Amino acid sequence: MRMSRVGLLSLSLVTLFALGCSGDAGPQGPAGQPGEEGPSADPSISAVTPGKVFISRRADITISGFNTTWTDAASLDFGPGVTVVDKKIASPTAIVATIEIDASAAIGPRDVNVSEGESKVTYAGAFSLDAPLEVSFLGTQAQGSILIASAKQRDLSTPFDLTTTGDGFFEPLVYTNLAVSSAGGVFGDVADAQLYAAELTVFTDVTAAAGPADVTIASGLPGEEILSPAPGSLQIAARQPTALTPGMNLNGTIDQPFATVLYQYTPTGPGKIIAVEALADSPDASPGFAVLPASGKFTDLITFEEAPTVEVGADPIYFIYWDNTGTSGYGFDLSITEIVPAEVEPNNTCGEAQAVASLPASLDAFKMADKDDQDWLVIDAVEADVGKVIHVVTSAGEAQTDTVVEVVGSDCTTSLGVSEDSNYHEDFTSDPIPAPGKYYIKVTNSTYGYSGALYNLEITLE
């Protein structure tokens, strides 16, 4: 009972102190500090959507305003390279614009300006322009080079057109609706593609301007292509070719995959034939040379061969070392030889046949002057040669020279056999020699077409 009274007393005291005693009001306290200024009532742009668009595209942009009174008289400005093709005033505080962005428009943030009468509102850095294509390279980014490139399509609304011809086995696989644009001495080919990625081979001419260069993929039917540029993605370095002279030997190194080395040969006079060859100290390497004329342009490519033999005129030519296996970290030795042609013209008929002094014979730098040219050679068979066969082997020369060999009897008519023409170069064995006398070797172009000119001959009796 006592504890209950204490508890009630304590509760009463708490209540008393909490409520206090009523009395007169005290004096007014000092004035407080001014509050923050409220929002401005001036018109402004509050948002631009989307915040990023790709160059070489058309896009719809929504501009949201605050305290604006936009009408059809409002004009829009997105900066150089961006054209407003349509606009709709959704409300006094909203505009929907269709814009077209040039492929050459500068990448980066852009201001958006809306003007009407004397009023102009700006949203600085409201949105940005970006490249739809991202490209990375393997190889030497320099004049006179071949590079392997990987391209990524960043604009997911624009997948690549994967239409192809060929099966990749019996016929080359060609992406008919994909192309790497050519400009400023840079062009390329599409080697492989998926919806949003492509593997490219990119060529830079010897005469390409040094500095940043664009790479652009065009996708779609002819006349309807969508361009996806990667501005300045390729950095082309200036370089001077190494001079080649007959008889010299040079050493070189390949320190990165698909690196190139640029050489130049300046003839001492017209009608020279030179052979260039590189021997690598890596068993995995496969050296080759792209041969360009004085123009230095890959569109004028003379040949790409492992060891090219080339007839040159009075103008310089370029040899570009390139290992298409991507092997690196090895050295190579390069040699250049001037070849004295073994052919004696005219030798275009049986009556003009060039005599072969002795067998076996190894004859260099014969030339198919045009698609109708014929080269005739003659050998003398003695009694001891009866029953033997005439073995003729043609070789490069130029890899694309496509020869056909026939052995003809002393009457210039009777054939002892014709090669099968199953490849560019022939390895042909005649029927046995039936009697002593003169036998002719006739070399002509294949009916498959005339492309290369130079070839070599080996002739033996067996």
Please report the pLDDT score of residue 182 as a whole number: 81
Question: What pLDDT digit, counting tens, does each position of 168-184 carry?
Answer: 788 889 999 999 988 88
Pair 192, 168: CB distance under 8 Å: no
Which span out of 95-99, 248-252, 419-423 was modeled with the highest average pLDDT? Answer: 95-99
Please report the pLDDT score of residue 437 as a whole number: 96
Query: Could you tell me which of 229, 168, 175 has the C-alpha nearest to residue 199?
Result: 175
Question: What pLDDT digit, counting tens, does each position of 281-340 carry?
Answer: 999 999 999 999 999 999 999 999 999 999 888 899 999 999 999 999 999 999 999 998
Please report the pLDDT score of residue 11 as a whole number: 30
| 71, 77, 122, 131, 270 from 112: Cα distances, Å | 17, 6, 6, 19, 63
Residue 17 has pLDDT above 50, yes or no: no
Please report the pLDDT score of residue 24 as a whole number: 60
What the block records as the tokens of 9 is 């007393």
Neighbouring residues of 455: CB distance < 8 A, sequence distance ≥ 6: 366, 367, 368, 394, 395, 396, 397, 398, 401, 403, 425, 443
Q: Give the residue carrying structure tokens 């190139």.
A: 260
Q: Give 430-433 contacts, CB < 8 A, sequence gap 24+.
A: 430/389, 430/390, 430/391, 430/392, 431/389, 431/407, 432/386, 432/387, 432/388, 432/389, 433/381, 433/385, 433/386, 433/387, 433/388, 433/389, 433/390
Query: Could you tell me which of 363, 416, 365, 414 has the C-alpha nearest to residue 393?
Result: 363
What the block records as the tokens of 450 is 């005339």
Please report the pLDDT score of residue 39 as a whole number: 55
Q: How much is the average pLDDT of 137-155?
A: 98
Which CATH homologous superfamily contains domain 44-130? Immunoglobulins (2.60.40.10)
Distance, in Å, from the CA atom of 206 to the CA atom of 186, rounded to the nearest integer, reads: 10
| CA dihedral of 300, 304, 307, 312, whole degrees rounded to 10 | -10
Distance, in Å, from the CA atom of 195 to the CA atom of 178, rounded to the nearest integer, reads: 11
Distance, in Å, from the CA atom of 215 to the CA atom of 433, rounded to the nearest integer, reads: 62
Label residue 207 by pLDDT band (50, 70, 90).
very high
**How many percent of the chain have pLDDT more than 70?**
91
| 265, 285, 292, 304 from 253: Cα distances, Å | 20, 12, 22, 20
Distance, in Å, from the CA atom of 132 to the CA atom of 93, rounded to the nearest integer, reads: 31
Please report the pLDDT score of residue 114 as a whole number: 97
Distance, in Å, from the CA atom of 278 to the CA atom of 272, rounded to the nearest integer, reads: 20
Please report the pLDDT score of residue 16 as a whole number: 26
Query: Could you tell me which of 175, 65, 75, 169 has the C-alpha nearest to residue 126?
Result: 65
**Do 44-130 and 242-339 come out as alike in CATH topology?**
no
Residue 34 has pLDDT above 60, yes or no: no
What the block records as the tokens of 101 is 């962005």
Question: What pLDDT digit, counting tens, does each position of 346-391 carry?
Answer: 999 999 999 999 999 999 999 999 999 999 999 999 999 999 999 9
Please give the CATH architecture assigned to the domain spanning 350-461. Sandwich (2.60)
pLDDT, mean over the chain: 91
How would you class 447 by CB atoms within 10 Å of its CB: exposed for 0-12, middle for 13-18, buried for 19 or more? exposed
User: 119-130 and 108-116: which strand pairing?
Assistant: antiparallel
Please report the pLDDT score of residue 270 as a whole number: 75
pTM: 0.78
Residue 10 has pLDDT above 70, yes or no: no
* Pairwise pLDDT comparison (447 vs 31), residue with the higher score: 447
Please report the pLDDT score of residue 5 as a whole number: 31
Q: How much is the average pLDDT of 265-289?
A: 92
**How many percent of the chain have pLDDT more than 90?**
82
Please report the pLDDT score of residue 40 as a whole number: 56
Phi, psi for 211 (deg, rounded to 5): 120, -170
Pair 112, 78: CB distance under 8 Å: yes
Q: What is the CATH number of domain 242-339?
A: 2.60.120.680
Full DSSP string of 315-350: S-EEEEEEETT---SEEEEEEEEEEPP---S---SG
Residue 136: other Cβ atoms inside 10 A: 11
Distance, in Å, from the CA atom of 345 to the CA atom of 6, rounded to the nearest integer, reads: 139
**What residues does each domain of the chain span?**
44-130, 133-236, 242-339, 350-461
Q: How much is the average pLDDT of 124-142?
A: 97
Residue 55 has pLDDT above 50, yes or no: yes
Phi, psi for 384 (deg, rounded to 5): -70, -15
